[in-house]
Amino acid sequence: MPHRAPGAPDGAGRPDYLTGKPITYYRPRGSSELRTLIDEGFQAFNAARLSEACRIFSDKMLAPENDTTIGLTIAGALTPAGLGGCIVELMERGLVDFVISTGANLYHDLHYALNFTLRRGSPFVNDVDLYEHGIIRIYDVLFPSKVLLETDAYIRDFLERIGVDEPIATSELHYRMGQDLLDQQPGCEEYSVLAAAARYGVPIYTSSPGDSSIGMNVASHALLNGSRLMIDPNRDVNEVCAIVLAGRQNGCVILGGGSPKNFYLQAQPTLWEVYSIPKGGNDYFIQFTTDQVVWGGLSGATPAEAVSWGKVNPGGLPDTVVCYCDSTIVFPLFSEYAVGSKWGRRSRKELVHKRDDLVAALKREAEAARDMPHQAEGDPETMPDLERHR
Amino acid sequence: MPHRAPGAPDGAGRPDYLTGKPITYYRPRGSSELRTLIDEGFQAFNAARLSEACRIFSDKMLAPENDTTIGLTIAGALTPAGLGGCIVELMERGLVDFVISTGANLYHDLHYALNFTLRRGSPFVNDVDLYEHGIIRIYDVLFPSKVLLETDAYIRDFLERIGVDEPIATSELHYRMGQDLLDQQPGCEEYSVLAAAARYGVPIYTSSPGDSSIGMNVASHALLNGSRLMIDPNRDVNEVCAIVLAGRQNGCVILGGGSPKNFYLQAQPTLWEVYSIPKGGNDYFIQFTTDQVVWGGLSGATPAEAVSWGKVNPGGLPDTVVCYCDSTIVFPLFSEYAVGSKWGRRSRKELVHKRDDLVAALKREAEAARDMPHQAEGDPETMPDLERHR
Amino acid sequence: MPHRAPGAPDGAGRPDYLTGKPITYYRPRGSSELRTLIDEGFQAFNAARLSEACRIFSDKMLAPENDTTIGLTIAGALTPAGLGGCIVELMERGLVDFVISTGANLYHDLHYALNFTLRRGSPFVNDVDLYEHGIIRIYDVLFPSKVLLETDAYIRDFLERIGVDEPIATSELHYRMGQDLLDQQPGCEEYSVLAAAARYGVPIYTSSPGDSSIGMNVASHALLNGSRLMIDPNRDVNEVCAIVLAGRQNGCVILGGGSPKNFYLQAQPTLWEVYSIPKGGNDYFIQFTTDQVVWGGLSGATPAEAVSWGKVNPGGLPDTVVCYCDSTIVFPLFSEYAVGSKWGRRSRKELVHKRDDLVAALKREAEAARDMPHQAEGDPETMPDLERHR
Amino acid sequence: MPHRAPGAPDGAGRPDYLTGKPITYYRPRGSSELRTLIDEGFQAFNAARLSEACRIFSDKMLAPENDTTIGLTIAGALTPAGLGGCIVELMERGLVDFVISTGANLYHDLHYALNFTLRRGSPFVNDVDLYEHGIIRIYDVLFPSKVLLETDAYIRDFLERIGVDEPIATSELHYRMGQDLLDQQPGCEEYSVLAAAARYGVPIYTSSPGDSSIGMNVASHALLNGSRLMIDPNRDVNEVCAIVLAGRQNGCVILGGGSPKNFYLQAQPTLWEVYSIPKGGNDYFIQFTTDQVVWGGLSGATPAEAVSWGKVNPGGLPDTVVCYCDSTIVFPLFSEYAVGSKWGRRSRKELVHKRDDLVAALKREAEAARDMPHQAEGDPETMPDLERHR
């Protein structure tokens, strides 16, 4: 048997799971020391990609003359990890114009808004033991299962309180939820993405509306209370298309990948492929991910591949960057850099209040395009013909 | 400069992109030679995980006495890669009872159903050049952009033809689309997942209904034609919960991860957390993925972590397995093994026709639970108290 | 607390670690069913890369008219996982001409040669408990620590028995060890890579000679017995260069990456950069790895990047392929395909007996090149000048 | 064809490869703003692992009362990426006692020592074109191939100048090379790892001595000049064992993985398995890597698995951490934190001058252990018996 150092402890002893520090919404402060490190010390490999992403965002996407409409997409458990503070800061400063998030990130944001405590922990714990003790684990974030039940109770109360009885967009549901939080928990825009988004007029969309505890409770409201409140995905699709169509320039910051990435990126193909509207692809594209292109999925697909779909402007590839790193490390660094940059505050677009007008404009353009001969098929001389198997 | 071998070609010359072999829906045949390799040659590391997955599926999940309700979730571009044939084979044989898929996989399945040709290609091509020539790329799968436009035209015709003018579940939309394909393209259940699912009564759900070209065209139908057809995510959530609730045992095969994985796995938490129904978690859990647990997202989360959420039965961990490999390699191997196994054909559950009854049963149980004292909070002696920050 | 299914077991109960099936050296048999699957069912993404790798190897590298000198490099714990049988089969059939391996793979091969049993297990075990019970774990492969001690005892006996008292190449050490195994364990060329390599004349190199239990025991022999036996890395470098130089065409199969990959690939740069000999780079390049190009290391570096170093012929990129997958899954599939192919048996080069002649030829060419004006610096018109910081 | 924005550039135009900023050796300065971010903002997932690693290193490994002997292992192209500055800073401050590096990192360090310029570039360049223009690429680092030839010329001159004609340890070769650089390029300890190591008495080992351009030139020196200078891996193995044996506590910082990781970690198994010396495993273990445990290789193996081999003290698992991230991002952050910490400067051990004494002590202890009854086999009651296949 391998020798053991004399007196080495044996690792036994039952851990007390909920003793780690509470996780809080850290707010980036624009550290100049960090800026120096990113500019001078991050010179190659993914460090250089992060450095490029910081400069593309701060020097180009935020430049007033470009007036870029900026979408932020969020996948992966970022609010449980305390990254909501970066998102709040970017929204408050006008650096992000709309958000597409998984439902889970918004659901877990509610724990913060409602002042429930999530704690730092370890991923190396016994899940059967956690289960016995009613503790929920998100990788290394731990909290009592009561947090889920109380958060669900809030959602159900909210759904009854607002009295909506028809299909609505997720942007509308989230806006109303944010306003409700501002009412119920004054000041919570400091520690809630949903509340801050409502305060600062940032629409938040969810591409998979049934796919979180928020969606589960909406479904329960329909089943048990006979409510006709439901999410209307059509409205979501058309609102995002309308926002992108209205952008002078367009750019995105993609955290992770997943269906929020796809939901954002499909706006341009919807315009040319479905609505026959000749709007080009994204001018700027920043992604932080740990997925890889070689697995073939959309999460890991490159900006180059997106060019072939019209999602990214072919001439814009120099302004695209993918940095392969866990968002929990790079998103705070990126946010610090942006906050401390020359254009670290923009006037907010407050798109949540302009959604109806933008969709109306989209409808007008699409109707006009429908009445025109179809332009979207390219040059018949060079386009490959359609082949059929049989 | 490094020396070059005399006469070495210079790699130049313009590739002719659409010359690769057509991609077809390969159907697994139950190879016994492959079974031998998997049993005897796949002994450690991910090869052993694949071997375990094959045995859990074939020996336990398919065993008649367990009567397992089996969900298959699909993320990543598997139909473009030709893996629809494996899915068709499993559905036809009754080895999969319901499916949760990204919209993209179903949209690209339509190309096969409609006989358009996708071709084998290379991921190392110039996307700006592809764009100039109207060729679309999905990693190494290439096809003319006309395929998209013609597929969209089919969807729009279909939407007008069915004349639905109200919210419906994705299972209903896909069932009707499959029936329409069977009408329009007789025999296409051999080369279309949507058509085969309709033929064999397998409901197909999409967790992110607006997030694909199908969803884009539904949204366009609403915007331009004033249709009230929309996806009702509530119905999807409740149908999947009802199917899981009705299962004697439950098990899943997860390809990739993403929102389909979450949508499947949330059924059990919905039951205990939202509906207060004491149904345990999954009895069997098989995942093929290239995501990693250390990135912290749901796609890479382990069955162990799922135990703490009540998604997997704590005693069932021996019957869970994650194999880290590209689905394009392991899913055909897994399917060959299953097809050739002792219980390689089961009587089909044809759940698509039982959805109303199952949802009614869910509603009854949930109403009964609502009228009972809440049982879902655990032992107040051992449960941690709720903490609040402020 | 999440509900638990009534009667669900609690996962407790002490596992008996050494009850899994013994791991054996599976020998590929040339399955035609597998060949069909690879040709017809593996059409896109990494499945297509595997399919390409099979065809490049079987149709081009093995083609008699190309007379390719084929190097196999091995990193990752493949012999513990039972993959030694594939390597033995390829060597016996003349499909691999020389091998570069980590020392660990050769050390663990000795357990098989000496008939010690390694067993299938689980990666999810308590390592502190394993440690208490004297069980060694390699991911999911388990065996008693006595296996290490007995294997070490064999190595020490061998070192004393051969009586070498001077620096030698690793190819010589491994050849003598293989011969000793053939003597001590007749027939063990069926279940030992080292023994089979000696029998079939395949030289085996280790790039990191001190970096395994073999190297540890050689070092102990020097320290405690005053032996002057040591590994001479110079001889290894020059032998590999000489083998590559003598190849009519050159190609490699790289399992994993690591220092064996680098050691193989540096042969061509050594020739042009150090010996000024104008030999081009590799004609064929096949790698199976799970590392990624975006991490920037050599293990994940692409054949394209290798072109800039003269490691791969610029015109040869169509004959290079990287398949991203665990070797335990793809290497048996690849070996089955090769064994069953048209040229699934070649006459063996038996390079182990030609090493002196090849090194002498290298020395002659290098001396001739030294006496010539230096040709390796490229065209002074187009070469960038050397820059200095200070 | 997807629409293109009017006026979008077409991405054409030949890049001028060597126009990026020169890469320099960034020196960490102990930023307190960064410390705040790491302590307060890095709360979960890999950000939390980095935060833990910073605290384990700064609060425990550097604590004077623990007197930890600290090894740093380096794999991946870190000196080309400019990370040599962090290594120099840690050595100068006494925070690292010895180093195990791939040869490539030391070879590329010579470019900096000799004042040749490497430049920031892009990984998305045409390698055939680079090859035509004599430009070498390491992922996104670009430089003329003349840099290689001139660096090789320096090495050859050095080898002739020092006149060593016998086997030596890599620590000796690197120490002499560092001294030579200090002579030839006064002040270069500021921008060369090799020079700084010589100045500050830090021994540097290479586990794969033939596996770099340094090793290639040593081999050429032997072949063409008849030199008997060679690397003696036995001496390397025994020196590292002796250093670890002498440590009051032992700890490591592992960048990447690869053979340097293995070479470091095998020291403790060598002690118990080969030399029968009862020294326990590592007390502290920090790794930054992008490899994954599920691929089964040593690079991705966890500290827990290392416990079963006696490489890590079983009771020390709380003081082990693996952070999954590209070293180019996390190593500068980690170094900034350490430099700014309470014990950010230690008295240097200058082990390079103590190697003979330490090896002599190892020899004495090993001889004493050899004369004792063997203690390393554990309790015969509980140890599993050795099994044999045949």
Structure-token pair, residue C33: 């069913």
User: B3 vs C46: CB contact, 8 Å cut-off?
Assistant: no
Q: What one-character-per-residue DSSP string does D85-111 give?
A: HHHHHHHHTT---EEEE-HHHHHHHHH
Which among B137, B233, B297 is the nearest to A77, CB-wise?
B297
Which residues in chain B touch residue D10, judged by CB atoms under 8 angstroms apart?
A: 128
Q: Which helix (H) or strand (E) holds A323?
A: strand A320-324
Q: pLDDT tens across D166-194, in order?
A: 999 999 999 999 999 999 999 999 999 99
Which among A124, A290, A315 is the nearest to D11, CB-wise?
A315
Tokens 């006979």 correspond to: A226
CA-nearest residue to D11 within chain B is B128
CA-nearest residue to A280 within chain D is D5
**For position B306, what pLDDT does the model report?**
87
Is C159's pLDDT higher than 50?
yes
Chains near B with 3+ CB pairs less than 8 A apart are A, C, D
Q: Which helix (H) or strand (E) holds D323?
A: strand D320-324
* CA–CA min distance C346, chain D (Å): 30
The percent of residues in chain D predicted with pLDDT above 90, rounded, is 79
CA torsion angle for A292, A295, A300, A301 (degrees, to 10)?
120
User: A281 vs D5: CB contact, 8 Å cut-off?
Assistant: yes
User: A8 vs D37: CB contact, 8 Å cut-off?
Assistant: no
User: B210 vs A210: CB contact, 8 Å cut-off?
Assistant: no
Entry field: residues in chain A: 390
- Extended strands (E) in C122-255: 135-138, 141-144, 167-168, 204-205, 230-231, 249-255
What sections of chain A are H helices per DSSP? 32-36, 45-55, 84-92, 103-113, 127-132, 145-162, 170-184, 193-200, 213-225, 233-246, 258-265, 267-269, 303-308, 327-339, 355-370
Is D277's pLDDT higher than 60?
yes
* CA–CA min distance D91, chain C (Å): 23
Which residues in chain A touch residue B236, judged by CB atoms under 8 angstroms apart?
A: 210
Q: Which helix (H) or strand (E) holds A143?
A: strand A141-144
* CA–CA min distance B380, chain A (Å): 10
CA-nearest residue to D6 within chain A is A280
Please, are residues D358 and D246 in contact by the beta-carbon 8 Å criterion? Answer: yes
Q: What is the reported pTM?
A: 0.94
Over residues D140-144, mean pLDDT = 96
Which residues in chain A touch residue B137, judged by CB atoms under 8 angstroms apart?
A: 305, 308-309
User: D48 vs A140: CB contact, 8 Å cut-off?
Assistant: yes
Q: pLDDT category, D278, cuts 50, 70, 90?
A: confident
Low-confidence stretches of chain B (pLDDT < 70) are 1-15, 373-386, 388-390
* CA–CA min distance B53, chain C (Å): 13
Residue contacts between A and C (CB atoms, under 8 Å): 43
Chains near C with 3+ CB pairs less than 8 A apart are A, B, D
Is D327's pLDDT higher than 70?
yes
Spatial distance between the Cα atoms of C107 and D274, rounded to a whole number of angstroms = 14
Which among B266, B307, B387 is the nearest to A216, CB-wise?
B266
- Chosen from A130, A147, A294 to mutate, greatest number of chain C CBs within 10 A: A294
Is D12's pLDDT higher than 50?
no
User: A115 vs B390: CB contact, 8 Å cut-off?
Assistant: yes
Low-confidence stretches of chain A (pLDDT < 50) are 1-14, 376-378, 380
Question: Which residues lie across from D285 on neighbouring strands?
Answer: D252, D320
Neighbours of A67 (CB within 10 A): 12
* CA–CA min distance D293, chain A (Å): 14
For B120-123, the CB contacts below 8 A with 24+ separation are B120/B20, B120/B21, B120/B22, B120/B23, B120/C43, B120/C44, B120/C48, B121/B17, B121/B18, B121/B20, B122/B15, B123/A293, B123/A294
Question: Which residues lie across from B250 on neighbouring strands?
Answer: B69
* CA–CA min distance C252, chain D (Å): 17
**For position B293, what pLDDT does the model report?**
87
Residue contacts between A and D (CB atoms, under 8 Å): 223
Over residues D150-170, mean pLDDT = 97
User: C222 vs D208: CB contact, 8 Å cut-off?
Assistant: no
Neighbours of D67 (CB within 10 A): 11
Chains near A with 3+ CB pairs less than 8 A apart are B, C, D
Chains near D with 3+ CB pairs less than 8 A apart are A, B, C
* CA–CA min distance D163, chain A (Å): 37
User: A378 vs D1: CB contact, 8 Å cut-off?
Assistant: yes
**For position B372, what pLDDT does the model report?**
79
Is D153's pLDDT higher than 60?
yes
Mean pLDDT estimate for chain D: 91
Which among C37, C46, C314 is the nearest to B336, CB-wise?
C37
Positions of D annotated as catalytic residues are 311
* Burial of residue C231 (number of CB atoms within 10 Å: 0-12, 13-18, 19+): buried
User: A145 vs C10: CB contact, 8 Å cut-off?
Assistant: no
**For position A102, what pLDDT does the model report?**
96
CA-nearest residue to D44 within chain A is A81
Angle value at C-alpha D192, between D188 and D194, nearest 5 degrees: 110
Rounded to 10°, the helix A233-246/A258-265 angle is: 60
User: A128 vs C292: CB contact, 8 Å cut-off?
Assistant: no
Spatial distance between the Cα atoms of B132 and B136, rounded to a whole number of angstroms = 10
Which among C139, C237, C383 is the nearest to D296, CB-wise?
C139
Cα B31 to its chain centre, rounded Å, is 24
User: C128 vs A10: CB contact, 8 Å cut-off?
Assistant: yes
User: D295 vs B324: CB contact, 8 Å cut-off?
Assistant: yes
Q: Which helix (H) or strand (E) holds D128?
A: helix D127-132
Whole-number Cα distances in Å, D42 to A86, C61, D50, D253: 12, 51, 8, 20
Question: Which residues lie across from B70 on neighbouring strands?
Answer: B251
Q: Which amino acid is at A28?
A: P
Which among A5, A315, A329 is the nearest to D313, CB-wise?
A5
Which among B148, B234, B389 is the nearest to A22, CB-wise?
B389
- Chosen from D188, D241, D386, D388 to mutate, greatest number of chain C CBs within 10 A: D386
Q: Is C306 helix (H, G, I), strand (E, B) or coil?
A: helix
The one catalytic residue in B311, B342, B354, B363 is B311
Is C1's pLDDT higher than 50?
no
User: B1 vs D145: CB contact, 8 Å cut-off?
Assistant: yes
Which among A138, A231, A363 is the nearest to B233, CB-wise?
A231
User: A266 vs B136: CB contact, 8 Å cut-off?
Assistant: no
Q: Which amino acid is at B276?
A: S
**For position B380, what pLDDT does the model report?**
47
- Chosen from A1, A133, A305 to mutate, greatest number of chain C CBs within 10 A: A1
* CA–CA min distance A255, chain B (Å): 11
Q: Is C210 helix (H, G, I), strand (E, B) or coil?
A: coil
CA-nearest residue to D9 within chain A is A315
What HEC string does chain B produce? CCCCCCCCCCCCCCCCHHHCCECCCCCCCCCHHHHHHHHHHCCCHHHHHHHHHHHHHHHHHCCHHHCEEEEEEECCCCCCCCCHHHHHHHHHCCCCCEEEECHHHHHHHHHHHCCECCEECCCCCCHHHHHHCCEEEECCEEEEHHHHHHHHHHHHHHHHHHCCCCEECHHHHHHHHHHHHHHHCCCHHHCCHHHHHHHHCCCEECCCCCCCHHHHHHHHHHHHHCCCCEECHHHHHHHHHHHHHHCCEEEEEEECCHHHHHHHHCHHHHHHHHCCCCCCCECEEEEEECCCHHHCCCCCCCHHHHHHCCCECHHHHHHEEEEECCHHHHHHHHHHHHHCCCCCCCCCCCHHHCHHHHHHHHHHHHHHHHCCCCCCCCCCCCCCCCCECC
Mean pLDDT estimate for chain C: 91
Q: pLDDT tens across C184-203, in order?
A: 999 999 999 999 999 999 99
- List, in order, residues 6 or more apart from D221 with CB less than 8 Å away: C234, D156, D159, D160, D227, D229
The one catalytic residue in A311, A342, A354, A363 is A311
Is C16's pLDDT higher than 70?
yes
Spatial distance between the Cα atoms of D196 and D348, rounded to a whole number of angstroms = 13
